[in-house]
Amino acid sequence: MSTSPGPFPIEPPIEPMLARLTDEIPEGAFLYEPKWDGFRAIVFRGG
């Protein structure tokens, strides 16, 4: 039995997106939500 996680949807290493201050929310086909907890994570889950 292999414990290898297999291929990732995005190949590591992955640079985190850094927060930046802006006066307006950018327009486009994106969704935005406030981030109150101060944590950011990239998670891969297989099953």
Q: Specify the pLDDT at position 21.
A: 86
What is the rounded CA–CA span in Å between residue 40 and residue 43?
10
Helix (H), strand (E) counts: the chain: 0, 0
Q: Specify the pLDDT at position 2.
A: 57
Amino acid present at 46: G
Q: Is 30 a catalytic residue?
A: no
List average pLDDT for each run of 10 residues in the chain, which is 47 residues long: 65 78 83 73 70
Among 3, 28, 35, 47, the active-site one is 35
Q: Specify the pLDDT at position 3.
A: 61
What is the rounded CA–CA span in Å between residue 8 and residue 31?
24
pTM of the full structure: 0.27
